[in-house]
Amino acid sequence: MKGTIRQRSPGSWEIQVFLGRDVNGKRMRKTETVRGKKADAQRRLREILSELDRGITPAKVQYKFGEWLDQWLQEKIMPNRRQKTVDRYEGVIRLHIKPALGHVGLAQLSPREIQDLESRLLHGGMAPKGVQAVHHVLSGAVKHALRMELIFRDPVALVSPPALAKKEAYSPAVDEVLALLAFGKGVEHPLWPFIHLLAFTGMRRGEALALTWERVNLDEGTLEICQSLVVTADGVLLEPPKTARGERIVALDELTVGVLRKHRTMQKELAGQLGVDPPGIVFPRSDWTGWAHPNTVMHAVKRLAKRAGHPSVTSRSLRHFHASVLLDVRPNYAVAAERLGHSSPKVTMETYAHALEGWQQEAADAFADAMQAPE
């Protein structure tokens, strides 16, 4: 930061501090008049520069951190994030950040206060993942204040959140999934086609529950994923998939086509008996009045898995199961990422790094075979 002093009249001094440039490239300055001796103006200039070094903005409006969090949510998060994310951020702010830091001035927020908050949460029993979520919200709000030039430093960047231990995504064994599917089919459980679809496509639970028949082409053996059913504080909502690549066409194998075709036929037969139109939703509520609640379905799958003797199989683990088996039989992360709707193959690699085991030796042996001289 640079500052200048010039005398305007006897006993009157003008201080100017260069604050950088705005989005249009125009120089921004803070100007202040000091009356007295030149030494008084020099002392005031040093104070202003010291405040700027510590991130204290010269703006007339000084936000409390709690006030800024509210504004950040309204102008940055709510218009750009999924409702479930908004709900999660609001909960983190209300329960953990505002009680501890809401009264602190935005420009006065220090790394020490942030570190103390995160340490208290961690030692109070919050899991490292939860503390990282708090850190993520703090970081987002402060970075936005930086971009708006309300502060000139980032105190959150100087604090390291607790590290997370690498946890391998749990995937049930093939025989467990096959046993669950056989049991569900044997007892004619209404959700066994749903469980089959998750296991054979790797779809997210919300994506499968938001699937409509108009997005399923059984003749071509494909289905289109363009929305997901999510649980929010306001109830169940339809939203776009988690990532841009989440909107995708998923190829179906012949067995899955057969399962879905039979499921559709049964819906039509039952509709004929009841004298109503068959549902447009592939997996609707049991009374066909709308979307099935994801939590209700999740617990129903858990109960069925427990009855089948495989309680570790869940609707979430079926996605990991599909990914693990797929990478085992066809080790191609790009294909797996496309099928699973991951934002990039890198996400797939980081999530399923365990699938790489054994590939090194196979690659070495394959290369050596290719280098063998012809006899």
Please report, for the domain that includes residue 116, its CATH number: 1.10.150.130
269 & 306 share domain:
yes
Q: Is the Cα dihedral 330, 331, 334, 340 positive or negative?
A: positive
Q: 322 with 225, same domain?
A: yes
Total of domains in the chain: 3
Strands laid side by side in the 2-9 sheet: 2-9, 12-21, 27-35
Burial 268-283 (b: 16+ CB within 10 A, else e): eeeeeeeeeebbebbb
**By C-alpha distance, which of 280, 255, 268, 128 is closest to 199?**
255
**Rounded average pLDDT per 10-residue block, the chain, 375 residues:** 84 84 67 86 84 62 86 92 90 96 89 94 93 96 89 89 78 94 95 96 95 96 94 87 86 95 94 90 92 95 96 94 87 87 84 66 68 63
Coil, strand or helix at 196: helix
Q: Provide the β-strand partners of residue 230.
A: 237
In whole angstroms, give the CA distance from residue 28 to residue 45. 16
- Report CA-CA distances (Å) from 37 to 7, 8, 209, 322: 10, 12, 75, 77
Pair 285, 148 in one domain:
no
**Are 147 and 218 in the same domain?**
no
Q: Is residue 164 part of a domain?
A: no
Residue 370 lies in a domain: no
Shared-domain flag, residues 235 and 332: yes
Same domain for 347 and 284: yes
Q: Which two tokens stand for residue 87?
A: 């709900």
Residue 87 in any domain: the answer is yes
Whether residue 227 is found in the same domain as residue 148: no
Nearest to 232 by CA among 212, 207, 208, 206: 206
Contact 101, 65 (CB under 8 A): yes
Whether 368 maps to a domain, the answer reads: no
- CA-CA distance, 344 to 338, in Å (whole number)? 8
| CA pair distance 205, 319, nearest whole angstrom | 9
Please indicate, yes or no, if residue 202 is contained in any of the structural domains: yes
Report residue 84 CA to chain centroid gap: 9
What pLDDT does residue 130 have?
Answer: 94
Is the same domain home to 182 and 291?
A: yes
Examine the domain organization and report whether 178 and 310 are in the same domain: yes
3-class SS of residue 228: strand
What are the counts of helices (DSSP H) followed by strands (DSSP E) for the chain? Answer: 15, 8
63/137 Cα distance (integer angstroms)? 17
Domain residues for the domain of 44 are: 2-53
Q: Are residues 240 and 318 in the same domain?
A: yes
Q: Is residue 183 located within the same domain as residue 242?
A: yes
Instruction: Give Rg (Cα) of the chain.
Output: 29
Q: Judge whether 308 lies within some domain.
A: yes
Write down the pTM of the prediction.
Answer: 0.70
Q: Assign residue 307 the CATH number of its domain.
A: 1.10.443.10
Same domain? For 29 and 133 the reply is no
